Structure 1
Amino acid sequence: MADVIRLLKTVGKTNFVTFYVDYESFYIRKERVTREEKLEFAQKLLRENVSATKESGQIARINAALTIFTNSWEHDALKLVLESKHSSITKEVKQQALDLLHKERVG
């Protein structure tokens, strides 16, 4: 569990939930994801996160999220978001995490 906690800290709980579908899509496509696509996504993350400052940090975030999916820890990560007491994790983010978790179990 320590590994998923560390990786989720790298990605960011809100970021993991907000961009879950994007991360999942990259994971499903694995080897077919081009460097350019990864860079475009990193730029998107950079634009949408006001506290982010470097493209390299967004690449690290993407790689950490992909590692979560590679190890089938995405449900654990969503549960950690739901259990979080941190004030930056809003009710909306928790609801979205719950919806994703439910969708994954049903789908």
Structure 2
Amino acid sequence: MAFQKIGDEVLDAKIAVRLTAEEKQRLAEDADIAGLSMSALVRARYFGRKVVANADLVMIKHLNRLTGMLKTVHNESNGEYSADTAAAILLVSEAIKKISRSS
């Protein structure tokens, strides 16, 4: 069986790590949430790469969509609700930043 490739590099080395059953289950759950294999999750975390949960990506996508809808309200109302839409867009932007930092 051929080893997986990342870019031009072949993942041709293996290590063994002992875990408790609970740790292994948590690692499997975290990998599933992130949409990664357990190996990919461990590599990403060890080498300091950002790991974003799929749920976070979906939430950010919906929040960005909400921002677009707020901008539409602002534009179609000729700015009549500009204070309200600006405040709402600021809150949505802060939520996106908070979600991004926690991932």
Shared fold (TM-score, shorter chain, > 0.5): no
Larger Cα-atom Rg: 2
TM-score of the superposed pair, with normalisation by structure 2 = 0.28
Of Structure 1 and Structure 2, which has the larger fraction of its residues in helix?
1
- Higher relative contact order structure (alpha carbons within 8 Å, sequence separation ≥ 6): 1
TM-score of the superposed pair, with normalisation by structure 1 = 0.27
